[in-house]
Amino acid sequence: FGVCWSGMLLRPSRATPSFFSRWFTTTNKLFLSKVRPVVQNGGTGGDVLRKVARPFEDEEITTDETRKLTKMMREVMLQNDGVGLAAPQIGLSKRVFVAQMELDGVEVEGIQSLPFTVFFNPKLTPLGEKKFENAEGCLSVEEGSLMGLVDRHHKVQVKFQNEEGKHKTMVAEGFFAGLVQHEYDHLNGILFTDHEVKYEDFTPSVNSLLGSFRYE
């Protein structure tokens, strides 16, 4: 509970000017069946996790194909009990990630619920020097159940475009800062295991979710 658990990887395909038509033809077939994660160094497709993803053009963001993409990302994320998912994890080397962390009507002091949010072409800037240990896990590493503590910036600013293509600015602290840093790393070919990770035994608790976010 309280881990930045970042989703699963489907079979990749190359991004082209008409990449969605080919990508969805392959991915929809896989998505409707029992899909096993493909991981870094674990077989076909792992190389997409090590690429720097390409940005979306403004006109791409509001297409029906992109809406289908983000809907699929949400479903994959939730099916795997995740709170975030980046496009490279479903085989698409494009700069978008999704996030959602809701407490199902439960109110806990110091914890906000984040409704489903899509981050196109995000740009992340650390705010201040303060760091904290964030509990993280990811199905895109070879040991899918591996969890550890990663030093992350406690406060960050992320500028992005939403599903309507509008420019937004979010300031995130604590849990939410760790979440967006984890997903942003995926867009740059970085896994959480690339950081200095503490793999000592620990039990994530509700305190792992302490944090806040606001829009500027």
Residues known to be catalytic: 183
CA distances 166 to 20, 61, 70, 191, Å, are 22, 10, 16, 28
Contact present, 60 and 69 (Cβ < 8 Å) = no
List b or e across 120-157, with b for residues whose CB sees 16 or more CB atoms inside 10 angstroms: bbbebeeeeeeebebbbbbbbbeebeebbbbebbbbbb
Token pair belonging to 193: 């295991």
Report the alpha-carbon distance of residue 140 to residue 156 in Å, rounded: 24
| Nearest Cα to Cα of residue 177 among 202, 209, 206 | 209
Report the alpha-carbon distance of residue 168 to residue 57 in Å, rounded: 16
Report the alpha-carbon distance of residue 99 to residue 77 in Å, rounded: 8
Half-sphere CA count of 181, side-chain side, radius 13 A: 27
